[in-house]
Structure 1
Amino acid sequence: MSKQVELVVYGAEVICASCVNLPSSKEQYDWLQAAISRKYGDDYVTYKYVDIFNPPNEQKYQQFAEQVVEDDMIYPVVLVEDEIVGEGNPRLKTVYQALENNGLTPIS
């Protein structure tokens, strides 16, 4: 594997109304990062957390953050290589499958 795979989590400090009993977006981001690192190592995945109400000054992230807000998406919204793989309560199995579809293999 030589390609970096980007995983982006869009969320907010405030828990969305539909996610009252779920962890915050930031907590889910940290949890995903830890779970993925255990299974695939740290070398080939780059992680980015984007606050939907205060996105970084990069058009790509600003546009999708606006879309999350405007479309009332349930956050966190998880993207692997710009493909939505989870919304609200991301499923680890779905995220793993997306990573493997982008060339990652589990470490032994």
Structure 2
Amino acid sequence: MIKKAVEVSVYGADQLCPSCVNLPSSKDTYEWLEAAISRKFPNQPFTFSYVDIFNPPNDKSKRRFAKKIIDEDLFYPLVLVEDKIVGEGNPRLKTIYHELEKYGYKAE
């Protein structure tokens, strides 16, 4: 049983990650993930957010994490389920689905 909507966050930028040439943009990845997760787990609550690492929102934790991505040269888009990194650069749906199932999500 799902107790609360899990937050899926995608951190990225308009420019592609230097190591991620030929991959979809961060925003394209965000839209693709939102659609894929919503299809896999229909009628189950989620919160999806996109964070531009060079212009993060006024949320302290999101700003801190965006700075970490830049400072540590992490690959983006970077995907978090709650506060756990589940994808970096070219995220895998199977890994993200597996993490969501730990929170009680069931495929339909």
Provide the TM-score with structure 2 as the length reference: 0.95
Counterpart Cα distance in 2 of 1:6 and 1:42: 15
Residue 97 (structure 1) aligns with = 98
What pairs up with 1:40-55 in 2 under 5 angstroms?
A: 40-55=41-56
What is the alpha-carbon root mean square deviation over aligned residues? 0.9
Maintained 8 Å contact 1:74/1:88: yes
Counterpart Cα distance in 2 of 1:98 and 1:68: 21
Task: Give 1:42 shift.
Answer: 4.8
Residue 36 (structure 2) aligns with = 35
Percent identical: 57
Between Structure 1 and Structure 2, which shows a larger proportion of helix residues? 1
Task: Give 1:3 shift.
Answer: 1.5
After superposition, the C-alpha distances for 1:20-41 in whole angstroms (9 at most, x for unaligned) are: 1100000000000010011102
Partner secondary structure for residue 57 of structure 1: coil
Maintained 8 Å contact 2:11/2:53: yes
Residue 77 (structure 1) aligns with = 78
Provide the TM-score with structure 1 as the length reference: 0.95
Any gaps of 5 or more consecutive residues in structure 1?
Answer: none
Deviating beyond 2 angstroms after TM superposition, the runs of 4 or more aligned structure 1 residues are none
Counterpart Cα distance in 1 of 2:46 and 2:35: 12
For 1:71, the aligned partner's letter is: E
